Structure 1
Amino acid sequence: MEKHVDPSRIVLLGFSIGSTATVELLKEEKDRKPPAGVILQAPPTSLLRVFGNMIGRKKHLEKPTCCLDRFVTIDKIHEVTIPILVIHGKDDKTVPIEHGELICQRAVTKVTPEWVPDAAHDNIENCRVVWKRIRKFIREELKLK
């Protein structure tokens, strides 16, 4: 049995590489009624930029996107027209916080960042502050119950 849920009652959440899929979904489905908002947790700007960080490249975030790059959130975030909550751990070594900061800078819609102290890539979901912030975003900013 198919059930219909009003998209204005849906909030998408993508973590790490999943946040790139979330932004891609929003881009591909832009002709449909959009969800209420989106939460991007530890979002990479692009896959090659994450690898650049892993091999010690320092200035790779400012460079134009390479034609071989995939999962390029930084070049698509401007197409997201719904409220965005970006959550990033300050101690994230896998996808450094600079990625989240750039995502916030490039977005054209309202972006609310939450920079989580003492949180890394693999433990951010264990932080109480993250879930409190998500709850606040949904209930107070998006006005969903």
Structure 2
Amino acid sequence: MKRLFTIMVAAVCLASCGGGDGDDAPNPAEQKAAYNRQAIIGKWVNRYSAPEGTNDFKEVADHDTLQFFTDGTYRWAYEKSAISGTGNYSVDDVYLKTRTLVYYISFGSDYMKLDEVGFRLSGKSYRYYRFQ
């Protein structure tokens, strides 16, 4: 009888330790960061740029491209010149960070919007469209 009581107490204790207390629920910021890290992969072209101090987009003549790779590296290039470069990047739930610049990142239905953040560059916005 004592042995049966001990087994029942142990069974109740183990059952009460099971999951279901909600601690495993995904964090919304972590979910958004995971989405951003996946969504940014690929080649993007900037067709519109906002003049300094405004958020109005206008067409620009020189299209620059950004290409993000899964290994945390990226390549940028200006189409009408020989200027290009490479670097490392990181993405979280709200920011795209490169070695020298930080952008607030957001995605629309067919574009990625980058808003410059920081020291001298705050206020400029860029829209990049997926290159196909």
Q: Fold match, TM over 0.5?
A: no
**Structure 1 or 2: larger strand share?**
2
Could you state the TM-score of these two structures normalised by the residue count of structure 2? 0.20
Q: Please identify which structure carries the higher helix content.
A: 1
TM-score (norm 1): 0.19
Rg larger for: 2
